[in-house]
């Protein structure tokens, strides 16, 4: 079942006998290009989408946090003095945010929190960041903490690192909190400066195809990729001291040290450094309305993610091949952490219906699994309903 702001509010009243004090919308995100570059201090081009989690929140006058997760029909009660990680990932995301506010000297209060939405889990549109950011904004408003979107994104990222144990970049949380309607944002993950970028190209549409696949590899492989990038920086720094992150390296520098990198670190570095330049090129292509160039960049990113970064999977490779062969598609790539989720496709408007129908029919025939088109619009970031 999918939820909206009104149904979440009704559920809150049914569960607590009170109206919520706060009703928030926390969006997921897409990313046009700049994949896995955020934890390398690079550039990314995400946007908040109109698929969201909705939070109904109210102080409850106790020393307990009471949560109801409507989408997964789960609930939990936690004492404020017992904020420690457990076996429930969704709960860890929420409790980690509370701990970050406590660490910053805020006096926490007991809350009732009911949430649900229309944001698919495992589709690469960052339901986890929406969970963190909705909770972070709830505390921010209830405690009158006064943090801005950039500060809340850093708080949520820190929570992921310290409480959840995932060394993520900042893109997902930043996009959820700071999204701009009808635009992507070009975010510099080093200094958190950003500007809005229109992504509409005349005669084209951005299309998401959800493979409905979420492989368990994603989390462990993600941590491994973060470590491999750090190993790459360590090698590069010995020869080029100015390289503080892979964002600073150039393709010739990586090629020069090809034999010095251990294991598959050369391939990882080659992908990340190339993606930095592809992101710059994509911003130019979007500014010029150049669909052919934008599509070519998407295809190159997919090849890099599949071959050098090794975060694709057979289902995504198949959907990419359907897009690559279709005359109405300019380009496509996997979007998100990897090993499943969605492909992002740049499609001619007049070819959209045919492409989506043909690709999903072929996918079902090949894998016995029904994919889906996710229709999304770019919206503003987290806010009160």
The catalytic residues are 172
Tell which residue, 18, 28, 31, 21, has the closest CA to residue 71: 28
**Using an 8 Å Cβ cutoff, are 8 and 23 in contact?**
yes
Q: Nearest CA to 97 among 136, 59, 64, 63?
A: 136
Beta-ladder partners of 197: 184
CB 43 within 8 A of CB 279: yes
Full DSSP string of 308-351: IS----HHHHHHHHHHHH-TTEEEEEEESSSSEEEEEEEEEGGG
DSSP secondary structure string for all residues of 243-276? -SSGGG--HHHHHHTGGGS-TTHHHHHHHHHHHH
In the chain, where do the E strands start and end?
22-31, 43-44, 46-59, 64-69, 74-79, 111-117, 183-188, 194-198, 204-214, 329-335, 340-348, 372-374, 383-384
Given a contact cutoff of 8 angstroms between Cβ atoms, the answer to whether 138 and 109 are in contact is: no
Short-list 335, 51, 313, 118, CA closest to 209: 335
Q: What is the number of other CB atoms lying within 10 angstroms of the CB of residue 53?
A: 28
Residue among 286, 247, 355 nearest 47 (CA): 286
End-to-end CA distance of the chain: 20
Helices 89-103, 127-142: inter-axial angle, 10-degree rounding: 40
Token pair, residue 248, equals 């600073």
Number of helical H runs and strand E runs in the chain: 11, 13
Greatest CA span in the chain, whole angstroms? 66
Order of strands, edge to edge, in the sheet holding 64-69?
A: 74-79, 64-69, 111-117, 46-59, 22-31, 383-384
């Amino acid at each position: 079942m999918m939820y909206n702001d009104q149904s979440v509010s009704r559920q809150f009243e049914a569960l607590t006998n009170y109206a919520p004090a706060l009703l928030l919308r926390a969006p997921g995100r897409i990313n046009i290009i700049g994949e896995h570059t955020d934890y390398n201090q690079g550039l990314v081009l995400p946007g908040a989408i109109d698929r969201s989690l909705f939070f109904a929140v109210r102080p409850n006058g106790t020393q307990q946090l009471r949560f109801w997760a409507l989408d997964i029909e789960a609930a939990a009660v936690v004492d404020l003095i017992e904020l420690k990680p457990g076996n429930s990932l969704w709960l860890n995301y929420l409790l980690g945010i509370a701990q970050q506010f406590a660490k910053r000297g805020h006096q926490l209060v007991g809350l009732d929190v009911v949430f649900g939405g229309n944001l698919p889990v495992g589709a690469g549109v960052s339901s986890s960041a929406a969970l963190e950011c909705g909770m972070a904004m709830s505390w921010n408003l209830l405690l009158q903490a006064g943090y801005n979107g950039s500060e809340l994104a850093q708080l949520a990222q820190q929570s992921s690192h310290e409480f959840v144990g995932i060394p993520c970049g900042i893109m997902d949380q930043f996009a959820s909190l700071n999204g701009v309607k009808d635009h992507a944002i070009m975010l510099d993950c080093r200094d958190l400066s950003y500007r809005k970028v229109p992504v509409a190209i005349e005669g084209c549409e951005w299309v998401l195809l959800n493979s409905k696949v979420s492989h368990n590899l994603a989390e462990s492989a993600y941590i491994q990729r973060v470590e491999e990038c750090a190993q790459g920086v360590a090698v590069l720094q010995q020869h080029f001291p100015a390289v503080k992150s892979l964002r600073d390296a150039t393709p010739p520098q990586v090629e020069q040290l090809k034999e010095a990198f251990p294991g598959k670190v050369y391939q990882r570095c080659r992908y990340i450094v190339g993606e930095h330049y592809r992101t710059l090129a994509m911003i130019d292509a979007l500014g010029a309305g150049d669909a052919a160039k934008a599509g070519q960049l998407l295809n190159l990113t997919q090849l890099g993610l599949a071959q050098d970064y090794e975060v694709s999977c057979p289902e995504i490779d198949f959907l990419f091949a359907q897009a690559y062969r279709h005359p109405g598609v300019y380009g496509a790539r996997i979007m998100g952490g990897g090993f499943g989720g969605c492909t992002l496709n740049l499609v001619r408007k007049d070819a959209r219906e045919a492409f989506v129908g043909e690709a999903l029919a072929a996918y079902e025939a090949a894998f016995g699994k029904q994919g889906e088109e996710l229709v999304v619009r770019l919206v503003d970031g987290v806010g009160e309903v």
